[in-house]
Amino acid sequence: FIHSQGAVAGIQLAHAGRKGSTYRDWTGAGSVPLSDGGWTTVAPSAVAFDGYATPRALTADDIAALVEAFRAAAGRARDAGFDLVEVHAAHGYLLHQFLSPSSNEREDEWGGSLENRARLLLDVVRAVRAEVGESMPVFVRMSATDWIEPDGWTLAQTETVASWVRQAGGDAIDVSSGGLLAGVRIPTSPGYQVPFADAIRQAASVPTAAVGQITDAHQAEEIVASGRADAVFVAREFLRDPHFPLRAAHTLGVDLDYWPPQYRRGRWPKS
């Protein structure tokens, strides 16, 4: 159906790690107990996310199985007809938990140095790339900072790892921030994360996508036209307005050849 509407289908591959087994926002808070259908979460170290249950530290065999699980998921996505995959390594999910020294206290080959903390992400990217082949785009979503610099995950580390991701087979970095730690104050404003996408694009020589309170067509166009990012990704504005692309096209004076038949009477008049 997505293809029949002239669009491209992408899917995000993610593992929540210590942020898994939680209630829906509207049904409760914190971790769901085993007695209620929850499960014991896993993480690089037995360090809990604030207000959640303590996870189990992954073993070497567990980590190998995780890489295989991501590979298999990418294969299922390809076979189902998706056109691209995105590996989620942001927002305090499992791969981000390995990257950040605030959640990764390991002393083996997956902890300590930046190279060790990035090992799992790079293994996953290589496995996904090998599975889907060279023709299918592979994006990686990363949090540029934990917002507790210099002690947590930082922009400088993200720039370095983004270049490694590119070498491992990633095509673009979807740049967000935060999510690893609760209670961190993030100074938000329209386009507040665009400078991160710009910095990573320049430092790592990798295409980036910008996110974060991008709600206006002219705002989005300026970000791309100015070269601060190669694309903008929009989420919450779609929740408010599912027809945002049609509205944005009209605002920018672009004549799209797509309108659902049942909405054609609602088209804006040509000026």
Residues annotated as part of the active site: 93
Q: Which of 160, 234, 155, 225 is nearest to 197 (CA)?
A: 155
- Write the CB contacts of 121 (distance below 8 Å, at least 6 apart in sequence): 87, 89, 95, 98, 99, 140, 161, 165
Could you tell me which of 72, 50, 69, 38 has the C-alpha nearest to residue 183? 50
Per DSSP, which regions of 71-216 are E strands?
Answer: 84-89, 138-143, 172-176, 208-210
- What's the CA gap between 166 and 214, in Å, rounded? 25
Helix, strand, or coil (residue 140)? strand
264 sits in the region (left: phi over 0; alpha: psi -120 to 50; else beta) called alpha
Question: 27 vs 32, 102, 195, CA distance in Å?
Answer: 11, 29, 36
Buried b (16+ CB within 10 A) or exposed e, 75-90: eebbeeebbbbbbbbb
